[in-house]
Amino acid sequence: MADKKENIKILAQNKKARHEYFIEETYEAGIELFGTEVKSVRAGKVNISDAYAQITGGEVFVKQMNISPFEQGNIFNRDPLREKKLLLHKKEIIKLIGYIAQDGYSLIPLSVYLKGSRVKMSLAVAKGKKLYDKRADIAKKDAKRNMDRAVKNYNRY
């Protein structure tokens, strides 16, 4: 069987997640969507900045993920903030339950993307950062930016 090159198109990213949390592990999950929701997602009308995932009854659901109603969807549109079921293997869900049982861990969506024709979500097991951790990250980023700038100016002459 020939190698299929995965065609990935990122539709939405949670840029705050890497600033607010330490990312321990990431998982790829499918999302259970209805027809008009898929059309809105393909149009890029999805927001995951406030979203989080929760395990209920052995299933993983993403909450506060906003998919804007499809303009031509009329009566078929669903509630934009409804809970969406994430499709994961049972072993992965059991592993996630073990992580969440520990204090301070959360399930945070990192991005929503198209993989081929399927809508997927990158889900992270994350631990919240303290304020001093965020300051240290910002200081490292500034130092790296200043070093890159200095090297660029040095190499210019």
Q: What's the pLDDT at 73?
A: 62
- Does the pLDDT value for residue 136 go beyond 70? yes
DSSP letter (8 states) at residue 72: G
What does the mean pLDDT of the chain come to? 84
DSSP letter (8 states) at residue 64: S
pLDDT band at 28 (very low <50, low <70, confident <90, very high): very high
The runs of H, that is alpha helices, within 1-130 are 17-20, 35-42, 90-101
pLDDT band at 109 (very low <50, low <70, confident <90, very high): very high
Chain centre distance of CA 76: 26
The runs of H, that is alpha helices, within 10-125 are 17-20, 35-42, 90-101
- Does the pLDDT value for residue 74 go beyond 80? no
Higher-pLDDT residue of 133, 100? 100
| 26: helix, strand or coil | strand
Environment class of 83 (CB within 10 Å of its CB; exposed 0-12, middle 13-18, buried 19+): middle
Please compute the mean of the pLDDT values over residues 22-42 and round it to a whole number. 85
- Does the pLDDT value for residue 63 go beyond 60? yes
- Does the pLDDT value for residue 6 go beyond 80? no
| 91: helix, strand or coil | helix
Residue 15 near residue 21 (C-beta atoms within 8 A): no
Structural domains in the chain plus CATH codes? 8-130 (2.40.280.10)
Instruction: Give this prediction's pTM.
Output: 0.73
